[in-house]
Structure 1
Amino acid sequence: MRKALLALLPLAAALIHPAAHADTTDLFTITGDSSTYTFTLPQQFTFPISLHLVTVPTLTTAGTIDGVGSKTFDVTFFTGIGNTGDSLTFNDITLAGPPLISFISQTGTPGNLFDTAAINSGSYQLIDLANSIKGPDFYHLTIAPETTPINPPAVPEPATLLLLATGTVGAALTRLHRGGRPIPTKP
């Protein structure tokens, strides 16, 4: 009976321990106006439905401008998901172009609905009409999926410590039960 219980302890610890996973993000690279902007956003996100023309709440992220890090970007998508055009605002620049996000699902109750959308990876030509004096300024956007690896914990997790402790106690009890004698082996 004891052997069966001791054999189940590692299984129980494995079931208690949560599975680790990596976060999926999209890497945005925008080139235009003699600069290159890079930042990441979650590949999928959920937001409340408020208007027919959907304004996705602003997503704040860190990134680089011309390779210099520690820049903060407030990114907003304006879209009629599934329509022929979208706009993207970042760093006080508003760019128009093809759809950049796609509808995935809707949840909630009437009056309290939420959409889940995914960012469309690919390469796009975007236009900045607002800040141009001589005509439209063109920007090139590349959206590439990436996986952010999880960071291993610096301190062992409780489930790991529990597994180590139960294994040690089990080994000690087995040794005491046998009177400190080594376990016999069969020839």
Structure 2
Amino acid sequence: MRKALFALPLLASALILPRTARADTTDLFTLTGDSNIYTFTLPQEFTFPVENHLVTVAAPRTTGTINGVGGQTFDVDFYTGIGGTGESLKFGTVGNLAGPTLISFVSSTGAYDTAAIDTGSYRLIDFANSIKGPDYYYLTITPETTPPTPPAVPEPPTVLLLSTGALALLLASRVTPPTS
């Protein structure tokens, strides 16, 4: 009986304690060019169906800012380097930008592939929309993690919980069971 009473609180505490939180990793994009600054975030890794042709890969639709004005929606396609087009990014209203490949393939599960966005600073070129020569865009991709949301009620310090449990265990071991 005594062993069951000790195991019961241990089992209850293991079930009640919160699981370890994991922050989702995102990348912060800052694209500067043609007198505009575009900022938005995308997940560091994203999946896409294999049946898509692999010259371009669409990232999830995202929202961001243009020159500090929020609520803008962006469609972003990454060029994979297959086919040697020399382009790296197709970005909403800006169009195709030439430069290095910005993604790396991570894994394939048969029906879906996973790509990771490479962080760094890049100089991209817009050949199509320029009248007097190429327009240069500068793209910075920095890793950013979303912090876990804090609990609504602050949790008591670990030492307080540990000492309360140790005291209860000590008192429970001193109580003698009734003899009949």
TM-score w.r.t. the length of structure 2 is 0.74
* Corresponding position of 1:128: 126
Contact 1:29 1:38 in 2 (8 A): yes
123 and 134 in structure 1: CA distance in 2 versus 1, 3 angstrom threshold: same
Unpaired runs of 5+ in structure 1? 157-170, 179-187
Where 1:127 maps in the other structure, the secondary structure is strand
Distance across 1 between alignment mates of 2:112 and 2:40: 25
Alignment of 1:101-120 (within 5 A): 101-108=103-110, 113-120=111-118
Distance across 2 between alignment mates of 1:82 and 1:9: 58
Distance across 2 between alignment mates of 1:58 and 1:147: 18
Q: Number of aligned residue pairs: give it.
A: 155
Alignment of 1:23-172 (within 5 A): 23-50=24-51, 53-80=54-81, 85-94=86-95, 95-108=97-110, 113-152=111-150, 154=152
Contact 1:81 1:101 in 2 (8 A): no
> CA deviation digits over 1:16-65, x for unaligned, max 9?
x4432111000100110011111000000111123554321342111111
137 and 45 in structure 1: CA distance in 2 versus 1, 3 angstrom threshold: same
Contact 1:27 1:145 in 2 (8 A): yes
Distance across 1 between alignment mates of 2:149 and 2:25: 14
Deviates more, 1:57-66 or 1:73-82: 73-82
Unpaired runs of 5+ in structure 2? 155-167, 176-180
State yes or no: 1:8 paired with 2:11. Answer: yes
> CA deviation digits over 1:48-92, x for unaligned, max 9?
123554321342111111122222211111323696834312232
> CA deviation digits over 1:83-129, x for unaligned, max 9?
68343122321211101001111111xxxx32111001011110111
Deviates more, 1:138-147 or 1:77-86: 77-86
Contact 2:46 2:59 in 1 (8 A): no
Contact 2:55 2:83 in 1 (8 A): no
% same residue = 64
Q: Which amino acid in structure 2 is aligned with residue 132 of structure 1? A: S
Name the Cα RMSD after superposition.
2.7
Q: Which has the higher strand share?
A: 1
